[in-house]
Amino acid sequence: MMKYKVVEKEEILVIGLKAEANFHNIHLVTPQLARQFMPRLKEVTSRKDTYTLSLQHYNHFDYKTFNPNEGFEKWIGVEVTHLDAVPKKMETLFILSGRYLVIDFEGSIPQFIKHWQNIHSTWLPNSEFELDTRPHFERLPSSYNPMQKVNEEEIWIPIK
């Protein structure tokens, strides 16, 4: 059985970097964005917490009609309290308030991919929940390191 919690989240303000991605190249785009953003993390002075966000802003996402070639915005950034001081060459994202399924995950990157696929292909369609169109994201603690065999993270899935 999937362990999760439902969280009502107020609007989310993000400062970070983004790039166009799809499911064929996300394994290249994500580390490239992280290598560009993480050295500049201290430039963001209005951070809400110590987590980093790995965020997917889909135009339309439905696993039943999943197309790995369909593009979406991939973000690496942080949640902030305001957008008054945006570092040069960084971008902002405003996410509307709403409900999220929050699923704690611990494991390797290959295990994460398998878990994510299971959530969207099997568990979610058979649950009481319906996807919303807001961005999906993972909250990564400051201890997260993709070179480690095991990491902890929170998977945030927007629901109606």
> What's 30's domain CATH number?
3.20.80.10
Residue 66 pLDDT:
78
pLDDT digits (tens, 9 = 90+) for 105-122: 999 988 998 999 999 999
CB 51 within 8 A of CB 102: no
Instruction: Report residues of the chain scoring pLDDT below 70.
Output: 1
End-to-end C-alpha distance for the chain, whole angstroms: 21
Location of structure tokens 């915005």:
73
Q: Which helix (H) or strand (E) holds 34?
A: helix 26-37
pLDDT of residue 147: 85
- Please tell me the predicted confidence (pLDDT) of residue 144: 93
The encoded tokens of residue 42 equal 């201290």
pLDDT number for residue 2: 72
Helix (H) or strand (E) holding 30: helix 26-37
d(CA 154, CA 160): 19
- H or E element, residue 114: helix 109-118
Between CA 104 and CA 124 the distance in angstroms is 15
Residue range(s) defining the domain that contains residue 20 = 5-159
Number of domains making up the chain: 1
Q: How far is CA 61 from CA 98, 131, 158, in A?
A: 17, 8, 11
